[in-house]
Chains A and B, each alone.
Chain A
Amino acid sequence: MPRLTTRLALGAAAALALGAPAAAAAKTTITMSGSTSVAPLAAKLAKAYIKTHRGVGFKLLQGGSDVGISDVAHDRVTIGNSSRDPKPTDPPGLVFNKIARDAVCLITNDANPLGNLSTAQVQGIFSGAVRDWSGVPGTGGTIDLVGRTAASGTYDAFNKIFMGANRLSTTMAQKASNGLVQQTVKSDPNGIGYVSLAFTRGVHTVAYNGVSCNLRNAKSGQYGGVRNFFMVTRGAPTGATKKWIRWVQKNATAQQIVATDWVPLA
């Protein structure tokens, strides 16, 4: 059918003509996925980066540290955000670029402003040995534990840094993100939980071993519960990704942004 072939050929040519200029003007998009703790920091950094660097766009997804590491290992994203250290079970060939450090804070409801918790007290509460607030001098009845699911980087950090060899109690409510833990403790006077430092508004933060959980103590190294944030790439970063990661690690504006709620590397 000559009429049909002519029409199809015209249609294909038109599509190519429209597509070509779009391809020429394409900018690099850096996709990131992973930790819900790193996400607020990554969003702030990306917003500042595009103000001074043209031709780069960002897409930020979440899903948890393990999702980020798996995504970058399978080439689904450019960078995986992780809030935990590399594990031996991680896929091979990944490079963990440290970008900041973060404090994990213990939080309670404002109606129960605990002054301080020692390591032994934290382990007793979260392992279920102590079930009532009267056992730890605090106000309220039974203790309501709020934590994260097993796949979370914050869960990993809390287990390693605070719990040591003790197992977490089976009664602990396992929430899917920092925000949900914060919201649960905010609405439950008997609640106690752990979140990243950036999620402590509206709840009372408890000092750990006599050191209060704030940015200054995390920076000076006095606060015990500090963990690393990484941007994970497949192999050493190259091109636009390398520029972005080096900017995050070394640029003064970037360090200023990190210093608002997190601990800069320098």
Chain B
Amino acid sequence: MRRLPLTGIAWTDRRVERLLGALACTVLALIAAMVVFVFSKAWPSFAHNGLAWFGGGGNVDRQLAAIFDSPANPNDYVYTLHAWPMLYATALLSGVAVLCGLVFALLCAVFIVEFAPERMRRVLEPAVRLLAAVPSVVYGLIGVLVLVPLVGNHVISAGMKRSVAYVVQLDGTSLLVGAAVLTVMVTPIMVAIVVDALRAVPRGWTEGAAALGVNRWRAMWTISVRAARPAIVAAAVLATARALGEAIMLAMVSGSVGFAPNPLDGVLFLFEPARPLAATIVDNAEGLSVVPFGQTIYAFAAVLLVSSLFLSLGGWAAKRPLKRYGLAAR
């Protein structure tokens, strides 16, 4: 039996079981402690606003400034907040990025697995995995130094800016740039997962299709992609989780005002600024020392935690009916 050096303890099964069990329980306890901590700090903000916290009304930035300027007396703390513009921006940016990214990722993955020539595949696959590992701040820098001035000075015309000048300023930081950079950020992760899933489809299934006279594209689409649907859902869930938590990059490129873009504005909808929850936390983290302001920021964090939970549940629920015909998903 191997003995631990220096102390001479033996690696018995029971000892290892208890040690690993203790480590796993520590991790669970840490997560539970973090959730309880965030909710306990965030509770006053939800208690004072009720369900109106999630609704709209008033200007979010003015409300945050009022909370920040609360008097020192705890009885006079200001908590009024209607966070709809930020919830809307979070859902919009993450949703658009993941949907566009999923389409690209699926087509790219099919190409890599089935149609790419050997030499191209040997370059493409490591490149995609490398892109998935790039820190998001790099995308943010490229966005703020190149894309935002490009959109603000050359794509948005002066007439467009004048038409909404009394409501919002269109200076380049916009939904378009935010969603574009977010899409570029989440697509490589999805490509990597879907490629692995497509490769796991048993060869016999696609060969059987070929024997029946089906061409490669049709075999890939109707058999491999269908079989890999649980993995595609898993990839989308993972990408959405990453998109929800993206703070610094979106703070730089998607806008610095708590504004809810209006879809009825037509094309201008894409050029209007939006600031998701994580970016709001990052931009306002300086004010944590003011008690009601800190509690409001914890409330944003609590909403993000709950949305991650619902995302996981949603992913699990989406995969259940797919398990009958497909491969086991990760």
Contact = CB atoms under 8 A, between A and B. Distances in A.
Contacts of B252: 180
A67 B8 contact: no
Interface stretch (B33-41, B167-175, B208-216, B227-235): B167-175
Interface size class of B (residues with CB under 8 A): 35 or more
Interface in A88-104: 88-89
Given A8-B7, A141-B162, A183-B144, A151 B287 contact: yes
A263 interface: no
A172 interface: yes
A149 B284 contact: yes
A173 B171 contact: yes
Contact of A174 (B148, B149, B283): B283
Interface stretch (A188-196, A214-222, A227-235): A188-196
Contacts of B130: none
Contacts of B273: 173
A249 interface: no
A3 B256 contact: no
Contact of B162 (A8, A66, A142): A142
B75 interface: no
A132 B165 contact: yes
Contacts of B61: 150, 170, 174
B62 A132 contact: no
A191 B152 CA distance: 11
B72 interface: yes
A183 B253 CA distance: 13
B143 to A, nearest CB: 12
Contact of B64 (A7, A66, A89, A150): A150
B286 interface: yes
Interface string B156-170: 001001100111111
A127 interface: no
B165 A151 contact: no
A7 B149 CA distance: 65
A70 B289 contact: yes
A63 interface: yes
Contacts, number: 114
Which among A70, A145, A150 has the greatest number of chain B C-beta atoms within 10 A? A150
A171 interface: yes
A128 B169 CA distance: 11
A170 B171 CA distance: 14
B59 interface: yes
B8 A176 contact: no
A1 B162 CA distance: 83
Nearest to A152: B286
B222 interface: no
Contacts of B149: 187-188
Interface in B252-299: 252, 255-257, 273, 282-290, 293
Contacts of A172: 169, 257
Given A89-B72, A173-B169, A187-B149, A66 B6 contact: no
Interface string A167-189: 10011111110001001100111
B126 interface: no
Contacts of B300: none
Given A67-B289, A173-B255, A4 B161 contact: no
B284 A88 contact: no
Which among A3, A63, A149, A191 has the greatest number of chain B C-beta atoms within 10 A? A149
Contacts of B285: 63
Nearest to A70: B289
16 contacts: A3-B8, A63-B285, A66-B288, A70-B289, A150-B61, A150-B64, A150-B65, A151-B286, A171-B168, A171-B257, A173-B171, A173-B273, A175-B256, A175-B283, A184-B171, A187-B152
Given A172-B169, A173-B171, A187-B148, 6 more contacts: A66-B290, A67-B289, A89-B70, A149-B283, A174-B61, A176-B283
Interface of A: 1, 3-4, 7-8, 11, 63-67, 69-70, 73, 88-89, 128, 131-132, 141-145, 149-152, 167, 170-176, 180, 183-184, 187-191
